[in-house]
Structure formats: C-alpha cells, structure tokens
C-alpha cells in the first residue's frame, strides 16, 4: 500500500506556472486515497480556477495510467498525449514521476503529491530498485524527476559529492551517480539553473501520516 497526500494547490500552481500545455496524469495503482482519472479531472478544474484568479490560462489534457511505476504501461498510455504538451503533472507516488521522466526525457515532470508510506510487495522474489523514500516533501520538480534522497547513496540534496567515476557511485561501482543523472537531465531540459539552488535539510517529520475515518 502507498499513502500519499496532495501537495498544496499554490505549490502545484507555482510549479506548473512556466507552462501552458500540461498533461495531468492520474494513477489507478496502489495509492491511498485513489488518484485516478476522477481525481485528475478534479485537479484540472481546481487548477483552472486558481489559474484564472492569477491571470494564467492553462491548456490541460487529462488521462490516467493503470500503474505509473510500470514503464510499459506508462509509455503506451501516455504516448498519445505527450506530443504537444510542455510538461506532465503526475498524480502518482514518487515512483510515477520518475518513470515518466525516464521514458519521456524531453518533458519536465512535476509531482502533484507527497508520498508518506510505501509498502513492499515481493512478487515471487522479483527484484525492484527503490526510487522513492516517501519523505513527505517531494522535490522531483527541482531535480529533473530523479530523486537524490533515494538514488544517491549519500542522500545528498545539493549536488554531487565529487567522488563519482565514469558516472558511477564511489560507494557502488554498479550504481549510477544520481547527481550526474540529475545534471544531464536538467541540461537536456534547459534548466541547469535549478542545480545551483541550495536545498535545505529535509524535515522528515513530514513523513508521518495518519489515516482518518
């Protein structure tokens, strides 16, 4: 099970404000509460109204994916929608935006949610790698859809340590350096200015969650 909360509307609005044509992608998978097509349509309406109040007009497309963490399902479901959009707003947990960013590398991917809890599902011993720590304060919009908290061995928030060799982590020669991936991704998107921003220490109290009746 995955527990998520929607980011504040003002934060989402600020993240998408540089763009006009945006695809809102819901996820029908594991999140609680559900974040599928109905929720994506509701978010579209809220953002349209909020945009109008700020004099900003958006052109939204809306769809949903069975599981955004599944690369095959996500690629096939989103491909018909991404041709003329400028960014993707993902309603999945932290794994979803990273999957979209990996397979649509020319599109900025913005998380609409914070992830707080991710359960483990071992399907007959198959191997999956961690892509989201469920820190409760998602920064994927600033790091090109690649999570440094999880994918950097040291969890560095403000750039590479300098110890990587040939693109691999100094602690694990088979592991890609997350910050080199982030650098290349932001460079491709023309957003290298984001890498110069110093990220404050994580407030992991945001990771806490509770289920209300």
CATH number at residue 145: 3.40.50.1860
Could you give the number of structural domains in the chain? 1
Asked if residue 124 has pLDDT above 70, the reply is: no
Is residue 75 assigned to a domain?
yes
For the chain, what is the mean pLDDT? 88
- With 0.85 as the threshold, say if the pTM is over it: no
What are the angstrom distances between the C-alpha of 74 and each of 66, 136, 194? 8, 23, 26
Write down the pLDDT at residue 213: 40
Helix, strand or coil for residue 129? Answer: coil
Asked if residue 45 has pLDDT above 60, the reply is: yes
What are the angstrom distances between the C-alpha of 157 and each of 79, 161, 200? 31, 10, 8
Is residue 211 assigned to a domain?
no
Read off the pLDDT band of 122 (50, 70, 90): very low
Asked if residue 4 has pLDDT above 80, the reply is: yes
Give the residue, 198 or 26, on which the prediction is more confident. Answer: 26
Q: What are phi and psi of 107, to 5 degrees?
A: -115, 130
Is residue 213 assigned to a domain?
no
Write down the pLDDT at residue 208: 66
Is residue 19 assigned to a domain?
yes
> Which class for 24: exposed (0-12), middle (13-18), buried (19 or more C-beta within 10 A)?
buried
Where does the chain have alpha helices with state H? 9-16, 37-53, 71-78, 95-103, 148-151, 178-189
Asked if residue 126 has pLDDT above 90, the reply is: no
Asked if residue 59 has pLDDT above 50, the reply is: yes
CA–CA separation, 102 vs 140, rounded Å?
Answer: 12
Asked if residue 79 has pLDDT above 70, the reply is: yes
Is residue 110 assigned to a domain?
yes
Each residue's pLDDT tens digit, 151-192: 899 999 989 999 999 999 999 998 899 999 999 999 999 999
CA–CA separation, 6 vs 23, rounded Å?
Answer: 17
Give the residue, 114 or 198, on which the prediction is more confident. Answer: 114
Asked if residue 143 has pLDDT above 90, the reply is: yes
Asked if residue 211 has pLDDT above 60, the reply is: no
Read off the pLDDT band of 196 (50, 70, 90): confident
Give the residue, 44 or 204, on which the prediction is more confident. Answer: 44
Range of the domain at 7: 2-201
Is residue 210 assigned to a domain?
no
Write down the pLDDT at residue 82: 94
Is residue 207 assigned to a domain?
no
């Amino acid at each position: 099970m995955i527990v998520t909360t929607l980011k504040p509307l003002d934060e989402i609005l600020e993240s998408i404000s540089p763009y006009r044509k945006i695809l809102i992608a819901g996820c029908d998978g594991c999140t609680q509460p559900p974040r599928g097509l109905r929720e994506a349509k509701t978010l579209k309406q809220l953002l349209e109204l909020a945009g109008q109040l700020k004099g900003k007009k958006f052109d939204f497309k809306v769809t949903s994916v069975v599981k955004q963490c599944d690369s095959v399902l996500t690629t096939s479901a989103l491909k018909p929608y991404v041709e003329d959009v400028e960014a993707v707003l993902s309603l999945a947990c932290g794994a979803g935006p990273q999957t979209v960013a990996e397979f649509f590398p020319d599109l900025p991917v913005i998380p609409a949610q914070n992830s707080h809890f991710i359960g483990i599902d071992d399907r007959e011993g198959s191997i999956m790698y961690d892509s989201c720590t469920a820190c409760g304060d998602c920064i994927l919009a600033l790091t090109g859809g690649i999570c440094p908290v999880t994918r950097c061995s040291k969890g560095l928030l403000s750039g590479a340590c300098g110890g990587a060799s040939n693109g691999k982590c100094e602690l694990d020669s088979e592991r890609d350096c997350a910050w080199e991936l982030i650098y290349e991704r932001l460079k491709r998107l023309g957003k290298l200015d984001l890498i110069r921003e110093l990220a404050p220490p994580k407030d992991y109290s945001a990771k806490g969650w509770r289920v209300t009746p």
